[in-house]
Structure 1
């Protein structure tokens, strides 16, 4: 049975926009890009490494996939995450891309229905709009929130507007020396209380 696991980096006030660098995502005049850079450490690296160890393909929304191409596709830095990113099968969901040829091992999907039809485990990093759509369709099985100890006040939130009632249970957690909480959740079966 296929499983979809989501990893989202989020602030205390729910912002998911522009984690990595100042120019990553400036939509809406967002001026806080790169907010996650100060929080990296060995514990966070080890927690993120656990995700790399899982089998399955990666799933992206168009914007994140295109951004990751610039960061990872031509990198040759000896980083095991770089090797993983380039070797993994990658699905990108987009109604506007003409092809997925820009990054090796990528496959273009047109809709969340196409995702639902896949029969392999998938992991999503970022791609907030896609995560909202997957959640609305009841397709998110596991969710890892990487909660950073800061508020930004502005920026795109993980859930903007209504989200369907879905119960998750905490299945594991870690706290980094810099105060980041990595919380792992699994969706509770429908009908469970």
Structure 2
């Protein structure tokens, strides 16, 4: 993690109640969430809500998506955590309306302060704006905001904010274009 990012992270200590709740969630995930058929998004939304997640109508949490602490997850309408996404939500993770996080991506809200000898746990939220798309196998680090309508190309490593309506790719990501929509044969710049 870049040294200048450490300052934006907050120290975090996990309580005993948090640890016990995560053990219970892992059992529910293993026995009821993970084995559910792909089409049963409503069932998985229900299970996530029982554990404190904010999951709106039409959200698509896939059965192989690993969610560390549902109480730190917000999925707006028609957002998606696809196959084999790892949502390490020690801190808040928020997915906007019509936002997709594609297969094998890793959303990581925690790290350690390597500038200290005891390396305490530090966390910061991840926010992905409405209509954003994190494509396949992308790492998103703590404290990152991916702007509205932004697209992050496959296998990118994102440790800094991504501007709205841009297309970025690489490690570190560079802007490679803007996001335009094609409607009825004409291009709309948003």
- TM-score bracket, shorter-length normalisation: under 0.3
Higher helix residue share: 1
Relative to the length of structure 1, the TM-score reads 0.27
Higher strand residue share: 2
- The structure whose RCO (Cα within 8 Å, separation 6+) is larger is 1
